[in-house]
């Protein structure tokens, strides 16, 4: 497996694991209960996000956070994938 294939966007992870996108998305939604786990996973390098800075000139549209998750994060959350590639 190539190194790059160990990291996925949320939609790709949902497809590879055979689970609904919203289920994966809920794992990175901020909440007091999950904040500690999310921060721990970021520190361990299992997940990360990119959030564009606010643009006062509105040259570009500010999107929400874009998340990348690792295979290890998915295993920690959901176990083995249902869809074997």
What is the Cα–Cα distance from 67 to 8, expressed in whole angstroms?
8
Residue 9 has pLDDT above 90, yes or no: yes
Residue 7 has pLDDT above 90, yes or no: yes
Which pLDDT tens digit goes with each residue over 24-83? 999 998 886 688 899 999 999 999 999 888 777 777 666 778 999 999 999 999 999 987
pLDDT in the model for residue 70: 98
Tell me the domain boundaries of the chain. Answer: 3-78
pLDDT in the model for residue 19: 96
pLDDT in the model for residue 28: 93
In this structure, the strands spanning 7-9 and 66-70 are: antiparallel
pLDDT band at 85 (very low <50, low <70, confident <90, very high): low
């Amino acid at each position: 497996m190539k190194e790059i294939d160990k990291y996925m966007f949320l939609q790709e992870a949902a497809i590879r694991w055979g689970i609904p996108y919203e289920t994966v998305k809920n794992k990175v939604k901020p909440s007091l209960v999950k904040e500690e786990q999310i921060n721990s996973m970021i520190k361990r390098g299992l997940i990360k996000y990119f959030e564009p800075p606010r643009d006062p000139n509105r040259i570009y549209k500010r999107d929400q956070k874009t998340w990348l998750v690792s295979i290890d994060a998915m295993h920690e959350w959901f176990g083995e994938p249902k869809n074997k590639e």
